[in-house]
Structure 1
Amino acid sequence: MKGLKFEVKKALTQKKTWFMLVLVLLYCIGLVFVLNRKEKDFLAQQQRYNQNTIEEYSGLLSMARIKIMDLEYREPENHTEIAKQEREAEFYQHLYSKSLLSEEIYNKMALRKELSQSELSILFMNNKSMDQVILNGYIEGVVDESWMEERSLTQEKLEKQITDYENIETLDIKYEPNPYVLNAKNYIKFFLQQMNIFIILVLILFISINDYEGEIEEGSYKLIYTSPWNRKSLLLSKYIVRSIVNLLLIVIPVSIVILMIGLSFGWGNMLYPVRVSEEAMKLSLLLISNNETYISTSGYLGFQTIGFIFIIIFQTIIGVSLSVLLEDSSTSFGLVLGIMIVSFIGSMLDNILAVQVFFNPWIFMDFTAILSINTKVSMYYGVILQLLIMIIVTMYTSYIFNKRDLIGGKS
């Protein structure tokens, strides 16, 4: 209890604690503007894409019709080739008509006007129908592999998109054409992205790494570490209090911003389906298959939040332990930061990711990233890896700390 009181008092009186709180709050507010910018860019991109699609399919439709007239004039007996060109013309006619039907809705979205339920339904059915038309055209040989590659499409991708549309339709859920619209749900999803997690972990490392060395430099350690109290319990108090404080330094600012967004712009549809790997729900070392399932956004965010909490605690334990073991904040900070940078870069390269995940506990397990590679550890494996490392590190730190002579300051 004495150690807990000391650590709580120290944490609440440190300037860096309050500085961290303000810094995280400002960062969370800044993410609101970033998300707003992403929404504008996404809407503009969708509008441009639809306009380009209209122009492209209009031109291809005209060319297909010209080819039909040319064949009917030059080779009227070539029914096979004429039928092939007619299927191609019909293919482009469908795509052109559906793109044209969506144009007014995309223009309205670009002006950030709220869409009616009927407009959402039209856009939903158009997008689903276009995917189906392209998939059928590819299967029937109207378009080939190179045509698909030019548009970054694959049969698997189209089938998944169609399945997503069917799932939304079956569950009778309001279609959301804009994944960046500013509301509480999208803000949480955006906050839990890999880059934001990396920045938060750097801040957590910064505030934890000097936890013990600062006491030595200030001389405040003499108040408690040289007393007859059990050093293991004192070190445990440091771990517990610093972990709780660091979590609060993140949770409080994030909660404030989410509350303000929810009250001002709405909470978003927490039941919206998210496609994830089934293996991500299990304790499996490797994802051998891409078997997928659907969970609600609330379930998705729940799993992501659990992973986020664990990685914050893990970072805190590592920071405090290195502060005790190395007694050199600069070296400790540089060491962990270097590992984190390698981890972050590796998370963007699948071939590196497949190797490093087995021993790198700094990777934040993101369900959306899990789908990008078969050989990848599950989220639960990442949490257990963090727990095992925390146990080993705390036991070793406790052993070293218990033997350390603190009468004269640094050992």
Structure 2
Amino acid sequence: MFHVASPQDISLGRTADVYFLRTVEVLKNAGLSDVRVRAEFHVASLPRGYKWALFTGLKEVLELLKNRKVTVYALPEGTAFYENEPVMVIEGPYLEFAILETAILGILRHYSSISTKAARIKKLAGDKTCLFFGARALHPAVQPMADRAAYIGGCDGVATVLGAEMIGIKPSGTMPHALMIIFRALMGDHTLAWLWFDKTMPQDVPRIILVDTFLDEREEALIAARLLGNRLYGVRLDTPGSRRGNIRRIVEEVRWTLDLHGYKDVKIFVSGGLDESQIAMLRDVADGFGVGTSIAFPPSVDLSMDIVEVEVEGRWVPITKRGKLPGFKQIYKCGSRHVVVRWDEPPPCGEPLLIKWIEDGKLMRGIPSDIEIREYVLRQLKELEL
């Protein structure tokens, strides 16, 4: 038995915190089953050092809320937002979505946290390849979700078969140390693994050789280049934290050695325990990165939901708990900044960012593809600062 929720469990509210079920019972017994509210999703503060975050997970939230008697306004998926800004509003009978609050927040917080971290990594990597290798840090039930979150956040590819398939791209990856260990143990030469990899893989699979299993990285890289010749696309250096010395110096040694022997076109990829500081240190000497745990387990973008208006005798009344701003709001993009105003205020500038996705349970517009969302994110990253 796997301890995971099915889509049906989520849709039926079986993943809810129990106090929401109790709240529903109380409201029904008090004759308040039909109360209508406007509930706002926002973040009061971002992780330390973050200036912005990405809003992702909307696609799954819309799947959860469609066919319910609610209207949903939200930022387009992949939109960058700032502190104290609304990212989504649900309008309708509270009992239509009360038991879904836990699931909605879980989707938006988990997605947005991973996507934001992926975007920060991609911003630092620039035009260098950035692949998400974090599946082994996660329960397999959520691997496809994490793959999608990382991809639309800016990563150039993902490693798992199912995650890539659901996005509509090919999975990315090279080879594990296990391959060389087996060849070394049974055939006496770990470099035979590289030759058999070359013989076995289809031509559209890049020949990227893992070169840090038994020998010095620059030595293995040169052996791989001589064995595969112009078929060698690149070499990968893994687990830099466990190696001698400074990983930047190791990459520089490998680059120098390859160039010295005429293999200037062979690319160098680095993986293993990378985070923002290592990406910044290596981006001018490496050609690409495989990033895992730091994206899979990012700082949390702490979204919350609060009722901000209640309908009383046909009129919307602004009301919320202390510490929150009551009232239905809109965001306008004014050049490089966002301006938050009351929904009924005249536009101060620019275009409104909160748009209607669902009206009375009916989906009102097409959802962009994952590739389109990622391209939207990459365009924004050109303007955003870390």
Structure (1/2) with the larger helix percentage = 1
Q: Is TM > 0.5 for Structure 1 vs Structure 2?
A: no
- TM-score normalized with structure 2 length: 0.29
Q: Name whichever structure is richer in strand by fraction.
A: 2
Larger Rg belongs to: 1
